């Protein structure tokens, strides 16, 4: 288990996510806004590349490419003085942690990666064993927010009392490296604890709480019907308990639920009243951020206007 006290609030490299940048850019700006309000020291480095997650988990990239790209990003994090990699996407988090473990424990892979760097004249990227620590160099933004939960409660300007909400903790945060999760990996509560501090009425258990979002990397594209059935299972169970706000911590899950909820409604002849938000957008909103200029809700597929009006955000 990862004790919440060990989550740093200094030298955080806010790790850019491709799906955040291209689908829900407000997650990046809102998380940055929340970090600033809460006094967390972070930096966004444009030199950092994609973690390879989309290609790695669609079987396109092999492990060596993923390890080498990760080693380059680790060098960039160390070079700019922000070595605590803090992810917005649960897949970036898992990919980086796994690559770090591989680079530390497998000398053959490490030497191969370093020989590629040397051959290409990129000696400054060379990775030495222990340059990063798989357990203490990688965090998810939700962990930083949870570490500041008392401050969030104190500084909140918007109260979510009376809002029935539920959390979807992303699989690649708590099921890949399950020994490094804040709390119990069988029942993660990070999002619930943060949202409750903002007054939300959290449904802490619902059917299929730990079911995956259904995106499944290649599954949404190659086995679309099964993918949407999985997504529907959780939306149905949220509907059964009257949840109006679903909170996320990964842009892949967010795409699956927010973008595909209207598609599922149409194809399966169902209706849902649930709206979707990333926990960073939620905390920023609670701390007084503009729903459009900071949280970027205009990029969502399920419109939030009615919900935002009711809670007094617009």
Closest to other proteins by CB, 48 or 96:
48
Listed in sequence order, the residues at least 6 apart from 32 whose beta carbon sits closer than 8 Å to its beta carbon are 14, 42, 44
CB of residue 111 to other proteins, shortest distance in Å: 12
Hunting for tokens 């989309």 — which residue is that?
Answer: 54
What are the Cα distances from residue 273, in Å, to 49, 182, 234?
37, 31, 13
Could you give the maximum distance between any two Cα atoms of the chain, in Å? Answer: 60
* Choice from 61, 80, 131, 206 touching other proteins (CB under 8 A): 61
Of 72, 140, 168, 248, which one interacts with other proteins (CB under 8 A)?
72
Binding letters toward other proteins, positions 130-159, x by CB under 8 A: ------------------------------
164 forms part of the interface with other proteins (CB under 8 A): no
- Cβ proximity to other proteins: between 172 and 248 the closer is 172
256 near other proteins, judged by CB under 8 A: no
One residue of 2, 4, 8, 18 binding other proteins per CB under 8 A: 18
Regarding 171 and contact with other proteins (CB under 8 A), the answer is yes
- Positions 271 through 300 that interact with other proteins (CB under 8 A): 292-294, 296, 298-299
Which position among 11, 136, 259, 314 is part of the footprint of other proteins (CB under 8 A)?
A: 259
Which one, 50 or 203, has the nearer CB to other proteins? Answer: 50
Which of 222, 240, 273, 306 touches other proteins by CB under 8 A? Answer: 222
Contacts of 6 (CB under 8 A, 6+ apart): 136
Single residue of 86, 137, 212, 274 touching other proteins by CB under 8 A = 212
292: burial class by Cβ within 10 Å (0-12, 13-18, 19+)?
A: middle
- Parallel/antiparallel/unpaired status of strands 138-140 and 84-87: parallel
Cα separations in angstroms, 28 against 35, 149, 281: 11, 19, 9
Q: Which of residues 98-127 bind other proteins (CB under 8 A)?
A: 101-102, 105-106, 109, 112, 116-117, 119-120, 122, 125
80: which 2 tokens? 């700019």
Least distance (Å) between residue 145 CB and other proteins = 19
**Per CB under 8 A, which of residues 231..250 are in contact with other proteins?**
233
- The residue length of the chain stands at 314
Contact set for other proteins, span 172-211 (CB under 8 A): 172, 174-176, 178, 185-186, 210-211
Q: Cβ 197 to other proteins, closest distance in Å?
A: 25
Nearer of residues 8 and 183 to other proteins, judged by Cβ: 183
Total number of residues that touch other proteins (CB under 8 A): 79
The only residue of 3, 5, 59, 154 in contact with other proteins, by rule CB under 8 A:
59
């Amino acid at each position: 288990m990862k004790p919440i006290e060990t989550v740093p609030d200094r030298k955080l490299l806010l790790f850019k996510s491709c799906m955040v940048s291209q689908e829900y850019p407000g997650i990046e700006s809102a998380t940055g806004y929340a970090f600033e309000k809460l006094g967390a020291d972070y930096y966004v480095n444009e030199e950092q590349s994609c973690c390879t997650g989309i290609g790695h988990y669609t079987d396109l990239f092999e492990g060596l490419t993923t390890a080498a790209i990760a080693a380059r990003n680790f060098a960039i994090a160390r070079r700019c003085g922000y070595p605590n990699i803090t992810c917005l996407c649960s897949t970036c988090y898992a990919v980086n942690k796994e690559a770090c473990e591989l680079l530390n424990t497998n000398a053959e892979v490490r030497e191969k990666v370093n020989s590629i760097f040397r051959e290409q004249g990129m000696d400054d990227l060379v990775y030495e064993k222990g340059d990063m620590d798989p357990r203490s160099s990688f965090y998810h933004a939700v962990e930083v927010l949870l570490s500041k939960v008392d401050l969030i409660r104190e500084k909140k300007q918007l109260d979510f009392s009376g809002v029935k909400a539920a959390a979807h903790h992303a699989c690649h945060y708590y099921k890949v490296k399950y020994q490094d999760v804040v709390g119990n990996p069988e029942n993660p509560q990070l999002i619930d604890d943060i949202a409750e501090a903002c007054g939300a009425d959290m449904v802490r258990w619902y059917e299929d709480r730990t079911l995956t979002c259904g995106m499944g990397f290649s599954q949404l594209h190659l086995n679309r019907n099964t993918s949407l059935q999985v997504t529907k299972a959780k939306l149905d169970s949220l509907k059964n308990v009257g949840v109006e706000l679903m909170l996320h911590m990964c842009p892949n899950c967010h795409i699956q639920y927010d973008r595909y909820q209207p598609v599922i409604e149409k194809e399966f002849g169902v209706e849902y009243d649930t709206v979707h938000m990333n926990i960073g957008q939620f905390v920023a909103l609670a701390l007084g951020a503009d729903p459009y200029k900071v949280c970027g809700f205009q990029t969502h597929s399920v419109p939030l206007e009615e919900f935002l009006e009711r809670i007094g955000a617009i």
